[in-house]
Structure 1
């Protein structure tokens, strides 16, 4: 059964292409490379090492090429923008040029770890001169890993790797396979690493059920794939290619991998536009997530700029931004500013507002009234309001116990205070 028939049975929506006419093998360095003419028509050429080889595909894109919502020129521009700001971020390209970012993705025979999982495509894209150059190193059969890795490592020049879940999957796989042949190929270099998967999850988990790259492409980046071969079919297609040598299925996987890599450039550009406040269509929720992200990493000033920019009509986002700002003000010992925001939350929250945020605001106000203002009645009022909220919520028994203890203490203080006032009258 041909690869087309296998695919049509497994995935009815995959477009059936015309039957490929077999091409006569040609001999290079004493070895036959099956279907070499078909490979060459797709910019794929052999790389020889001793008596074995891998295949390398190379394509280029001009900087004005649009992939999704951005051109590659905008990627270059946003790297320049990172170099102009005076704050830091895990995705900051400050100190780098656009050509130093290395967008990397692999295709493997499985999703598990360990030596049983083989990498059969090492793909990457990088700025060179005035174009984006994309290269893919292809494993023609399982015994060709030495030429595969040698071709990948001998001339590659990169400072910062950019991946999608590459820290957890792609690069550990590369290191595992490299370990098996490290005596025969160049060593793996050290580099920085931007893993965009974590940024996508942080920014859009409120909007997307899953943050798989293909979903982020369609829902966020404006990338529309056509006649794409699903990634889960890649191992089956590769094994068929190893058996039959016909490249028709592999060409579809190469195109799938190519789009993955180009989408990394678009995703890095989009995340950077949002983090640098250059995305003028950013939503209130996204602005809130940017502010929270900066707050978590201690970049307080830029966090405040984002949180304060959320408009009042976005009520829930405004309240959450107020809560985060109050936390920063408390840390800076600006208690009056913090209290003003806590009161705003307590006075205007709705059923959609996060309960923990409201309760924490009430507790902070109660503590301030008790210890700073010595207004025990006001502190008791805040505490009892919190108790009323907790009473109608499940799994908050511990908080109810703590609130009741606070109420009892405040009632004792209030009684003692009243007795003292009567005594002094």
Structure 2
């Protein structure tokens, strides 16, 4: 085997590291690929990675854990992981059993928002904690034919247990799998992992106050992150295609900064969500507390849900009524008919007609089948009908028909009992 071929085989083993340790590039005597504007890239801490007679670019940025991004420092992530490990709460976002270095905060930039092989990933970005630093790396596709070095460099650095993304289950990771399939004979396999998708969590907790759930909106309205001179994400594909033509780094450097903020915000968002779910955020609002309790209730974590929702019932507002409604259903599920009745009776006092009608219907069922009080069952069934009719904008004919059928049946049952 010639010396040149041996050197080419060794190229794939080069990987990014600390600049003070190993160089991120091939020795000059072995590099035969011309890197356009290489000096300009290297001034921005971007270095080539050579593999398969081609190359990709890798940017690395290191942050001390004392660095603040929005309302939190990165060292607060350790507090968040500790919260889960010291708590018996069961939740899909729990990192119980993890250490901080096993979380892998991941985001991509692509040439489009659609799926399939026509959509190319041109930045694979991620961050993870190593020692006293948060290390952020971005693997950049310099031309459409460089996917082998892109994925080779990415996969040989992957060392994680759980992926943390924002809508990554629906978009980012499926795209990675699609592109990986095309070159799977030339690069390592994709690893197995857990996945925390923070988009769904953010939607659960803040849909009551945010019209849109874009990460940039959550950053501004919830996390305290302010973007300055940021390139909008929708411009990224246009800038990338221009980069392919011109090779000029300037526009791509702006996209890299945009992607960097996305990734750092995932760290802050996971920290904040943990503090919300573990109830360590002292500034948590009543609607947020309700959404946390409702989430635990939907998971079947009834004790945790009751513990949280019960803290909301002492104040007479819509949040209190919402909490009592969920608690009433929990008591009903546990066959605590008296407690369920009492809570539904409080919901009936609500000014919200939809919740009031629903509570009346539930009371009619409880009085008929559990407490065997037909007159009261008739009373609350009639009240449910009156409430539905008074809310003309939301009348649902099937609901009204069902209520009238129930009322008719109850009246016949009462007449038979009275004979």
Listed as ranges, the matches of 1:198-217 within 5 Å are 198-217=200-219
Q: Specify the alignment match of 1:406 in structure 2.
A: 406
Query: How far apart, CA to CA, are the structure 1 residues paired with 2:316 and 2:95?
Result: 31
Q: Specify the alignment match of 1:88 in structure 2.
A: 90
Query: How far apart, CA to CA, are the structure 1 residues paired with 2:242 and 2:315?
Result: 57
8 Å Cα contact 1:103/1:161 also seen in 2: yes
Listed as ranges, the matches of 1:153-164 within 5 Å are 153-164=155-166
CA gap 1:52/1:85 in 2 versus in 1, 3 angstroms: same
Query: How far apart, CA to CA, are the structure 2 residues paired with 1:371 and 1:121?
Result: 61
Q: Specify the alignment match of 2:350 in structure 1.
A: 349
8 Å Cα contact 2:313/2:324 also seen in 1: no
Does 1:184 pair with 2:159? no
CA shift, 1:265, in A, is: 0.5
Q: Specify the alignment match of 2:171 in structure 1.
A: 169
8 Å Cα contact 2:220/2:226 also seen in 1: yes
Q: Specify the alignment match of 2:366 in structure 1.
A: 368
Query: How far apart, CA to CA, are the structure 2 residues paired with 1:391 and 1:211?
Result: 35
Q: Specify the alignment match of 2:281 in structure 1.
A: 279
Does 1:415 pair with 2:411? no
CA shift, 1:332, in A, is: 1.2
Q: Specify the alignment match of 2:386 in structure 1.
A: 388
Q: What TM-score do you get using the length of structure 1 for normalisation? A: 0.89
Match of 1:358 among 356, 372, 375: 356
Match of 1:53 among 55, 67, 74: 55
Structure 1, unpaired ranges of 5+? 1-25, 420-425
Query: How far apart, CA to CA, are the structure 2 residues paired with 1:349 and 1:302?
Result: 25
8 Å Cα contact 1:107/1:234 also seen in 2: yes
8 Å Cα contact 1:342/1:362 also seen in 2: yes
Query: How far apart, CA to CA, are the structure 1 residues paired with 2:415 and 2:264?
Result: 70
8 Å Cα contact 2:56/2:141 also seen in 1: yes
For 2:256, what is the secondary structure of its paired residue?
helix
Listed as ranges, the matches of 1:261-300 within 5 Å are 261-300=263-302
CA gap 1:222/1:199 in 2 versus in 1, 3 angstroms: same
Does 1:143 pair with 2:141? no
Structure 2, unpaired ranges of 5+? 1-27
Q: Specify the alignment match of 2:116 in structure 1.
A: 114
For 1:309, what is the secondary structure of its paired residue?
helix
For 1:56, what is the secondary structure of its paired residue?
strand
Q: Specify the alignment match of 2:67 in structure 1.
A: 65
Q: How far does the alpha carbon of each residue in 1:128-185 deviate from its partner, in whole angstroms, 9 at most, with x for none?
A: 0011000000111111111010000013201100001111111111111111111110
CA shift, 1:27, in A, is: 8.4
8 Å Cα contact 1:163/1:194 also seen in 2: yes
8 Å Cα contact 1:284/1:314 also seen in 2: no
CA gap 1:416/1:180 in 2 versus in 1, 3 angstroms: closer
Query: How far apart, CA to CA, are the structure 2 residues paired with 1:373 and 1:333?
Result: 11
8 Å Cα contact 1:284/1:311 also seen in 2: no
Q: How far does the alpha carbon of each residue in 1:287-306 deviate from its partner, in whole angstroms, 9 at most, with x for none?
A: 11111111111111111111
Moved >6 Å (runs of 4+): none
CA shift, 1:28, in A, is: 6.3
Q: How far does the alpha carbon of each residue in 1:323-348 deviate from its partner, in whole angstroms, 9 at most, with x for none?
A: 111111111111111111011111x2
8 Å Cα contact 1:149/1:178 also seen in 2: yes
Q: How many residues in Structure 1 have an aligned counterpart in Structure 2?
A: 390
Query: How far apart, CA to CA, are the structure 1 residues paired with 2:237 and 2:358?
Result: 51
Q: What TM-score do you get using the length of structure 2 for normalisation? A: 0.90
Q: Specify the alignment match of 1:78 in structure 2.
A: 80
